[in-house]
Structures are given as structure tokens and as C-alpha cells.
């Protein structure tokens, strides 16, 4: 990080010229290197001075002689190179003839640019951040800051840091030069607020450390633990379920508590905390929160709302020609602004859909051409988000199977009637045979007493 603050490369800077054309103003930061190019010379006698000639820095004569490099000064041609500059003020170039006559001269005024960042350490989201950029001069150029997202801010700047503030901030001296400073904010990589899938399709819920961070950085900031929570969309108490806890011991791993069929999507040792699932369900709708908790209960988190798209059919998917059918395609909630739903019927369907974007679709009388796969899609800014399908099976009023069922039922009824008739006949025969066995006399008399 300090290497970015201290630019070791030579600084060639646009200049501000005075009315006389003999003074060049150079804006430079302490620790940088700067090259002061003298005017074109025929190599007479050249001298470099500092602060109104109070200090003779270097010289060149036409016989090839020159002062040796010393301290942080050196010569390249007739140019003066100053490494790791710590002295600011006026540098003077003079070219003279052999008899001491002044041929040309030029003055370079080096003005110090100071860039401050408070605090100069890793920041947590919510920490105070102050950036300053100042020029040690009476006449200051217009100064402003550019955020990592190229947004212009005033100078000086005081903000509460967020993950979006991580990156290179640039102090701009308008039409003169730019100076960059690195701001590191402990946080998670940006993730979409909504993720869309449909029933029985896979989806990965993203969560990962920002690219500039490692587990070592987080341990230095006092991380205590990491958790995944799930808040169902339909919940009587709005309670959270703990899905995973992160073990900070080597190797760093996500340990399931109540995983709901989820599992880590990648290697957590590299900072990827994402969760994935192959087949999502309606009950999986809700908010998934990935949280890092530090000392003093400072929390850094990201929440993704998972929307599961599902198609339902009433009275069902097994239909008969002429039935009325209601199709519904929904995530269980109103769609956010900019998200649209689109119905796509089977290719052979002749149904004219008046409103392709309604979550409900009514078919007054289904026909055989309406059977097949019905699909609804979610789109945002001409980008497909997800889709769901349902298969409708539509049979004629008297289909082959229905005829088979009717004929089979008729045969069963006939067989039952025949069986009942046979049983009835057998019963009658059995009754007659029994009476014949009980009475064998030709003229039977009723029982009782008779006179003799």
C-alpha cells in the first residue's frame, strides 16, 4: 500500500508559466522523484542552484566536466534529477559563456502537495474516514477527489466508510496532476439484492470476501465468527434459522447447523462463502444473510433475497377438452419495479393471450392444441432472470381410454348380473329339494290328535 503512496517513477508535470516565461511551477509530493529539464543548450557552462543561489548543487563545463552525483541529486544531460525529494523551494538553472556572460536562465518553483488519510489502516464499514489534499502555496489550484467509482467529491472529505469506498481515491489538482491514495475497507464483495430461480432448478447464493482481503487481515481486525442465516418469506414469527457456522481453525470450513439442502459452493479457504443447492422449493423463498462478526459486536453482512418462481394449475394438470383452467405464475410476492413476467404457450396453442405480463392466466375452454409445456419467464432490462414450466395433459371428452373404462365397467356390471342370476337359481333349487325330503307320504295330514 505504501508503494502506491510513494511513486518512485520520475514525475514529468504540466507547468504553470509566469508572465515573464522564466518560472515553472512544479507540484510534487514528498518522497517522489522529479526531473527538472534545463532549456536546450549548446553546452557552455551550466550551473544549478537552490534557494536564490544560496546553495550550488551541480555544474557542467563544455570540456565534459561535471560535478559528481551526490546526496539525492544527479545529472542526466543538462537535466537535474532529484530522488526522494524532501526539499521544496526554488531551483535555478543558468547557462553562461566562457567569459561569464549569462546566456539563459530558468527558475523552477517546487511546491509540496500533501495528501492525508485518517486513519491510515484497515477500515470497518461505518468507520470515519477523512481525506485531505493540500498545496503549500498562496495561490492554490482547484482541488477535488474522485472516488473509486469516478464520482467527484469535495476536498477535504469526511465520510462513514462503506464497502463501496474501497479502492483507489484520487486527489485531482485540476489541469495539473493526479495523486492516488489507497483505501481498504473490510467487507464482502457486492452481491445482487435479489436472486431468481424456479422450482427444481439450481442456484448459488453469493457471498465472498472482497478481493483485496484475506483471512489474515480479518483475524488482525479481530473477527469472532461467520454465520449464514435464513429468514423464510412465510414465517409466523419472522425468526431466523442458522444454516452454517464458519470454523476459523485451519482448515477454514463452513460447518452445517441446519443446511436445508444447501452446501458450500467452493473452497472457503480462498474467501468464497457462497452456498448452492441443486433443487429449490417454494419453502426456500426468503432472505439469506452472510454475516461476519468482529470484536465490539461490529457486524459486516450482505443479504440476498431468493425468489423461487412456480407455476400452478387449477383444477390440475390432467384436463378434459372444454374445461376452464386457471394458471398462476408467481414468486409469492409482488415483482420489483423493472421486473416483468412473460407467458409462452405451446407452439400449437391457438390461445390469444391479451396480457402476457399478468401473473394469472385463464383459459375459458381448453382444447387439445393447448396441451404441452406452458412456460413463464421473468425478465429485467431485456435480460432473462429465470423461467418455470408446467405440463398440461388434455384428453378428448370420449377418449380411447375413457371408452375402454366405460366398456370395462359395462362388462363388469353384466358379469355381476349374471352371477346374481345364477346364485338366485341355485337358491331356489335348493329350497325345493329340502321340502321333498321332509314329506314322503302321499296325503299328509296336519299334526294333532285324532279320534279312532
Q: CA 359 → CA 22, 233, 329, 335, distances in Å?
A: 76, 19, 5, 10
Examine the fold and report which residue of 274, 307, 340 is the final residue of a domain before the chain moves on: 307
Is the same domain home to 345 and 297? Answer: no
Give the domain CATH number at 86: 2.60.40.10
pLDDT confidence of 235, banded at 50, 70, 90?
low
pLDDT tens, 83-106? 998 888 899 998 888 888 888 889
Does a structural domain hold residue 283? yes
Number of compact structural domains in the chain: 3
Residue 48 grid cell: 544549478
How confident is the model over 238-267, as pLDDT tens digits? 688 999 999 888 788 899 999 999 999 988
Domain boundary among 354, 371, 395: 395
- The string of pLDDT tens digits covering residues 136-195 is 888 888 999 999 999 999 999 999 988 788 889 999 998 888 999 999 888 888 888 999
From CA 232, how far away is CA 305, in angstroms rounded?
A: 10
Residue 148 φ/ψ region, left for φ over 0, alpha for ψ in the -120 to 50 degree band, beta for the rest: alpha
| CA nearest to 254, candidates 278, 288, 290 | 290
CA nearest to 90, candidates 53, 60, 56: 53
| Residues 167 and 212 grouped into a single domain | no
73 phi/psi in degrees, rounded to 5: -110, 145
pLDDT of residue 311: 93
pLDDT (tens digit per residue) in 341-378: 999 899 888 877 766 678 898 888 888 888 999 999 99
d(CA 119, CA 418): 101
Residues 114 and 248 in one domain: no
- Residue 359, domain member (yes or no): yes
pLDDT value at 45 more than 70: yes
Joined together, the cell numbers standing for residue 351 give 390461445
DSSP codes joined into one string, 215-258: HHHHHHTTEEEEEEEEEESS-SS---EEEEEEE-SSSPEEEESS
Mean pLDDT of the region 197-224: 88
DSSP category for residue 331 = -
CA 63 to chain centre: 67
Q: What's the grid cell of residue 169?
A: 481515491
Among 11-15, 36-40, 407-411, 429-433, the range scoring the smallest mean pLDDT is 11-15
Residue 281 lies in a domain: yes
Indicate the pLDDT class of residue 441, thresholds 50, 70 and 90.
Answer: low
Mark whether 132 and 215 lie in a shared domain: no
Asked if the structure places residue 416 within a domain, the reply is no
Q: Are residues 287 and 389 in the same domain?
A: no
Domain that holds residue 4: 1-185
| Structure-block grid coordinates of residue 389 | 414450466
R_g of the chain computed on alpha carbons = 45
Residues 21 and 116 placed together within one structural domain of the fold: yes
Contact 321, 395 (CB under 8 A): yes
Provide the β-strand partners of residue 450. none
Q: Does residue 320 share a domain with residue 243?
A: no
Amino acid at each position: 500500500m505504501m508503494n502506491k503512496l510513494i511513486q518512485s517513477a520520475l514525475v514529468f508535470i504540466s507547468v504553470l508559466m509566469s508572465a515573464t516565461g522564466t518560472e515553472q511551477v512544479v507540484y510534487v509530493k514528498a518522497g517522489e522523484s522529479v526531473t527538472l529539464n534545463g532549456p536546450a543548450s549548446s553546452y557552455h557552462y551550466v550551473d544549478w542552484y537552490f534557494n536564490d543561489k544560496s546553495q550550488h548543487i551541480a555544474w557542467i563545463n563544455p570540456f565534459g566536466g561535471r560535478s559528481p552525483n551526490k546526496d539525492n541529486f544527479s545529472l542526466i544531460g543538462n537535466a537535474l534529477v532529484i530522488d526522494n525529494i524532501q526539499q521544496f523551494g526554488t531551483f535555478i538553472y543558468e547557462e553562461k559563456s566562457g567569459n561569464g556572460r549569462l546566456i539563459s536562465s530558468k527558475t523552477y518553483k517546487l511546491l509540496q502537495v500533501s495528501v492525508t488519510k485518517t486513519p491510515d489502516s484497515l477500515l470497518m464499514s461505518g468507520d470515519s474516514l477523512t481525506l485531505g489534499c493540500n498545496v503549500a502555496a498562496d495561490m492554490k489550484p482547484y482541488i477535488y477527489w474522485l472516488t473509486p467509482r469516478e464520482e467527484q467529491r469535495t476536498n477535504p472529505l469526511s465520510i462513514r466508510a462503506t464497502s463501496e469506498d474501497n479502492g483507489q481515491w484520487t486527489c485531482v489538482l485540476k489541469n495539473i496532476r493526479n495523486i492516488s491514495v489507497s483505501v481498504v475497507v473490510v467487507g464482502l464483495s457486492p452481491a445482487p439484492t435479489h436472486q431468481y430461480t424456479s422450482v427444481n432448478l439450481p442456484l448459488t447464493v453469493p457471498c465472498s470476501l472482497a478481493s483485496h482481503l484475506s483471512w489474515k487481515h480479518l483475524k488482525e481486525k479481530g473477527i469472532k465468527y461467520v454465520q449464514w442465516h435464513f429468514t423464510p418469506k412465510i414465517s409466523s414469527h419472522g425468526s431466523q434459522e442458522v444454516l452454517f457456522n464458519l470454523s476459523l481453525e485451519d482448515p477454514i470450513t463452513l460447518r452445517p447447523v441446519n443446511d436445508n439442502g444447501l452446501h458450500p459452493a467452493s473452497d472457503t479457504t480462498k474467501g468464497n462463502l457462497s452456498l448452492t443447492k441443486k433443487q429449490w422449493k417454494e419453502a426456500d423463498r426468503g432472505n439469506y444473510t452472510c454475516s461476519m462478526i468482529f470484536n465490539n459486536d461490529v457486524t459486516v453482512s450482505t443479504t440476498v433475497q431468493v425468489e423461487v418462481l412456480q407455476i400452478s394449475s387449477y383444477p390440475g394438470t390432467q384436463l378434459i377438452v372444454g374445461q376452464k383452467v386457471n394458471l398462476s405464475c408467481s414468486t409469492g410476492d409482488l415483482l420489483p419495479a423493472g421486473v416483468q413476467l412473460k407467458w409462452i404457450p405451446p407452439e400449437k396453442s391457438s390461445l390469444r393471450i391479451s396480457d402476457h405480463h399478468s401473473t394469472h392466466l385463464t383459459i375459458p375452454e381448453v382444447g387439445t392444441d393447448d396441451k404441452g409445456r406452458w412456460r413463464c419467464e421473468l425478465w429485467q432490462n431485456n435480460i432473462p432472470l429465470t423461467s418455470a414450466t408446467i405440463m398440461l395433459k388434455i384428453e378428448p371428452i370420449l377418449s380411447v381410454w375413457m371408452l375402454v373404462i366405460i366398456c370395462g365397467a359395462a362388462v363388469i356390471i353384466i358379469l355381476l348380473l349374471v352371477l346374481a342370476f345364477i346364485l338366485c337359481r341355485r337358491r331356489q333349487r335348493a329350497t325345493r329339494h329340502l321340502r321333498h325330503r321332509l314329506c314322503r307320504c302321499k296325503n299328509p295330514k296336519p299334526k294333532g290328535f285324532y279320534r279312532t
